[in-house]
């Protein structure tokens, strides 16, 4: 089969299209014929060898997939050959998903409804699982809350806006002025330019005090988040960007307001993926959630897909199609 691998760590130029043996599912695994995958920020970190320990080389890129179960290994009883599935959280200490096939833990896979095509499933897998866990599981978002979503035009951000709006929350997103209309179309009630000098004040002026923050760049935004949060608010950090530093006055105010600072990682929460994506799948099927696909590339052009996704200004997700058919 064909797979995109890197034999050394580096930028997108290290990605190579290789011919490799078909994988064989082991105990608890399903062999999936992959129809599509997507580009995620973690792809670049793994490709650059940043995690500790880094993946072993050569390594198949990619962390999510949508496709069809081809066969199952021993001790798999919840999936059958022919099932349409999607999932995320692969490719860290095991082969990734930029490939025509992958043998992956079956308990991380969710059924992909017939109404959802494979490219949509691939675009949703990592982004919507991350946003759901951050807002619903870690942030305790509920009807009537006010939610701040950073990077609201990006992959996880646009998923977070939709999920928050679906729960009945009031949503404010941060984005560039040029992306404001798109963020409102995703379901935001207000949009704040992330480059504002006083983020907390701008958010409060737009929607009042915030109950939950989905924070993807805490190193730059956290002081503003804490200033925007109301009593009992929760800031869920999924990315730092740089080391966190807090102004003493801001952190003292957060203490008086009983504000919580919470952290999470989708790659470290694989036990939750099937449950979360099962719920996301039903909302994709009935049209209440819909990932924005900025571009689709064939498997052989995965390096260009990653370059494009890294460009500033890309709205939504970039998909890599590993098979010719769409659904």
**Which tens digit of pLDDT belongs to each residue from 120-176?**
999 999 999 999 999 999 999 999 999 999 999 999 999 999 999 999 999 999 999
pLDDT for position 272: 86
Q: What are the distances in angstroms from CA 137 to CA 166, 269, 271? A: 15, 11, 13
The DSSP code for 11 is S
Residue 106 forms part of a structural domain: yes
Q: What is the pTM of this model?
A: 0.93
How many folded domains does the chain comprise? 2
Residue 246 forms part of a structural domain: yes
Q: Could you tell me the pLDDT band of residue 221, with boundaries at 50, 70 and 90?
A: confident
Residue 258 burial by CB count (10 A; 0-12/13-18/19+): exposed, middle or buried? exposed
Tell me the pLDDT of the chain averaged across its residues.
92
pLDDT at residue 325 is higher than 50: no
Question: Which CATH number is 249's domain given?
Answer: 3.40.50.720
Pairing of strands 210-215, 229-237: parallel
Residue with tokens 């999920």: 163
Tally the C-alpha atoms within 13 A of residue 92's C-alpha that lie toward its C-beta: 15
Same domain, 145 and 259: yes
The DSSP code for 270 is G
From CA 264, how far away is CA 54, in angstroms rounded? 20
Residue 326 forms part of a structural domain: no
Q: Could you tell me the pLDDT band of residue 93, with boundaries at 50, 70 and 90?
A: confident
From CA 164, how far away is CA 145, in angstroms rounded? 9
First to last CA, the chain: 20
Q: DSSP letter string over 178-239?
A: GGHHHHHHHT-SEEEETT-S-HHHHHHHHHSSEEEEEES-HHHHHHHHHHHEEEEEEEEES-
The DSSP code for 21 is P
Residue 28 forms part of a structural domain: yes
Same domain, 51 and 148: no
Residue 60 forms part of a structural domain: yes
Same domain, 219 and 138: yes
Percent of the chain with pLDDT over 70: 94
Residue 159 forms part of a structural domain: yes
Question: Which CATH number is 66's domain given?
Answer: 3.90.180.10
| Structure confidence by residue, pLDDT tens digits, 24-75 | 999 999 999 999 999 999 999 999 999 888 999 999 999 999 999 999 999 9
Same domain, 143 and 252: yes
CA-atom Rg of the chain in angstroms: 20
Same domain, 255 and 162: yes
Which own/partner contact pairs does 223-228 have at CB distance under 8 Å and 24+ positions apart?
223/199, 223/247, 223/250, 224/198, 224/199, 224/200, 225/148, 225/199, 225/200, 226/200, 226/250, 226/251, 226/253, 226/254, 226/259, 227/199, 227/200, 227/201, 227/253, 228/148, 228/199, 228/200, 228/203, 228/204
Where is average pLDDT lowest: 36-50, 74-88, 218-232, 295-309?
218-232
Same domain, 145 and 261: yes
Same domain, 41 and 90: yes
| Structure confidence by residue, pLDDT tens digits, 41-50 | 999 999 999 9
Residue 98 forms part of a structural domain: yes
Q: Could you tell me the pLDDT band of residue 298, with boundaries at 50, 70 and 90?
A: very high
pLDDT for position 199: 92
Contact in structure between 166 and 147 (CB atoms under 8 Å) = no
pLDDT at residue 266 is higher than 80: no
pLDDT for position 327: 45
Domain span including residue 82: 2-112+292-321
Burial readout 285-305 (b: 16 or more C-beta within 10 A, e: otherwise): eeeebbbbbbebbebebbbbb
Residue 327 forms part of a structural domain: no
Where is average pLDDT lowest: 8-22, 73-87, 106-120, 207-221?
207-221
- What is the sign, positive or negative, of the torsion defined by CA atoms of 284, 288, 291, 292? positive
pLDDT for position 101: 98
Same domain, 223 and 143: yes
pLDDT at residue 184 is higher than 70: yes
pLDDT for position 242: 64
């Amino acid at each position: 089969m064909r797979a995109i691998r890197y034999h050394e760590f580096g930028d997108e130029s290290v990605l190579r299209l290789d011919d490799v043996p078909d994988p064989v599912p082991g105990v608890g695994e399903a062999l999936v014929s992959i129809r599509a995958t997507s580009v995620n920020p973690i792809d670049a970190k793994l490709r650059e060898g940043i995690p500790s320990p880094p993946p072993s080389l050569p390594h198949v890129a990619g962390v999510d997939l949508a496709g069809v179960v081809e066969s199952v290994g021993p001790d798999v009883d919840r999936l059958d050959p022919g099932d349409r599935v999607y999932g995320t959280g692969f490719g860290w200490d095991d082969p990734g998903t930029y490939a025509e096939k992958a043998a992956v833990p079956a308990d991380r896979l969710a059924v992909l409804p017939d109404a959802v095509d494979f490219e949509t499933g691939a675009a949703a897998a990592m982004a919507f699982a991350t946003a759901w866990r951050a807002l619903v599981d870690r942030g305790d978002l509920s009807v009537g809350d006010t939610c701040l979503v950073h990077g609201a035009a990006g992959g996880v951000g646009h998923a977070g806006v939709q999920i928050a709006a679906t729960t009945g929350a009031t949503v404010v997103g941060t984005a560039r002025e040029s992306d404001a209309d798109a963020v409102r179309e995703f379901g935001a009630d207000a949009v704040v330019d992330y480059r504002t000098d006083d983020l907390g004040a701008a958010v409060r002026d737009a929607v009042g005090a915030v109950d939950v923050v989905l924070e993807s760049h805490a190193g730059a935004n956290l002081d503003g988040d804490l200033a925007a949060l109301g009593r009992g608010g929760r800031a869920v950090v999924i990315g730092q960007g740089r080391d966190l530093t807090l102004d003493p006055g801001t952190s003292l105010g957060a203490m008086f307001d009983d504000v919580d600072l919470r952290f999470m990682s989708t790659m470290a929460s694989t036990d939750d993926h099937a449950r979360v994506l099962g719920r996301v799948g039903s909302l994709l099927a009935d049209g209440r959630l819909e990932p924005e696909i900025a571009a689709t590339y064939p498997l052989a052009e995965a390096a260009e897909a990653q370059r494009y996704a890294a460009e500033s200004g890309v709205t939504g997700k970039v998909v890599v199609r590993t098979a010719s058919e769409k659904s």
